[in-house]
Structure 1
């Protein structure tokens, strides 16, 4: 059964915010707004598989130690166990579609003190 329009969940982060527009038992959808100069954790997922589309901005993307410049209109798929990080070189907006395991985050390094010691 279809739902009527509703407000998405907003999750504030030290690097910007996430807008959760879908979270079901089969998939999840988020928009990540990353402020210029901020970066997400160096992290991996054990189960979660995500596909990311850069809507705007420029991001320095690290994938298993390889660093690349990610430009608007490009897509990247991140499979489980891929060590990755995103750093916004400009204010950036990222569309994320993934499997539903949103709490499947293994933080390896984090500028904001969220990684284990």
Structure 2
């Protein structure tokens, strides 16, 4: 388990073909506004509720409330951010590019391309 300023993540599968994580976001906390150059990911909420801010095809940010059983795909190049409306957990299954994170805005002071 890796502690993060917004909660924690636990990688349960790391292969040369895919990556699987369980991600826990504390209520009221958020991940950075970010995008991935290559990483293609799908999220599945299993506990609580989160708001997914996701860039649409016109470049506008849209907010989607996700609750248990709901999923969304995030394709490479799409800006996105997850916000814990309440304490929540979700599975993230993605292509294997672990270090492919470009941060655009981060309330914890982490900026730019980073893996922390």
TM over 0.5: yes
| Structure 2 residue aligned with 1:87 | 83
| Structure 2 residue aligned with 1:74 | 70
1:12 to 3, 28, 35: 3
User: Once the 2 structures are TM-superposed, how far is the Cα of residue 69 of structure 1 from its aligned partner?
Assistant: 1.0
Q: Give me the TM-score of the superposition, normalised by structure 1.
A: 0.89
Q: Give me the TM-score of the superposition, normalised by structure 2.
A: 0.90
SS at match of 1:90: coil
> Structure 1: any 5+ residue segments left out of the alignment?
1-9
Deviation by residue 1:43-84 (Cα, 9 ceiling, x = unmatched):
000000001100011111100101121111001000000100
- After TM superposition, list the pairs within 5 Å mapping 1:34-113 onto structure 2: 34-64=25-55, 65-113=61-109
> Structure 2: any 5+ residue segments left out of the alignment?
56-60
4+ residue runs of structure 1 moved beyond 3 angstroms? none
Deviation by residue 1:74-109 (Cα, 9 ceiling, x = unmatched):
010000001000100110001010000011000000
Count residues in correspondence: 107
Which piece of structure 1 moves more, 30-39 or 63-72?
63-72
Q: CA RMSD in A?
A: 0.7
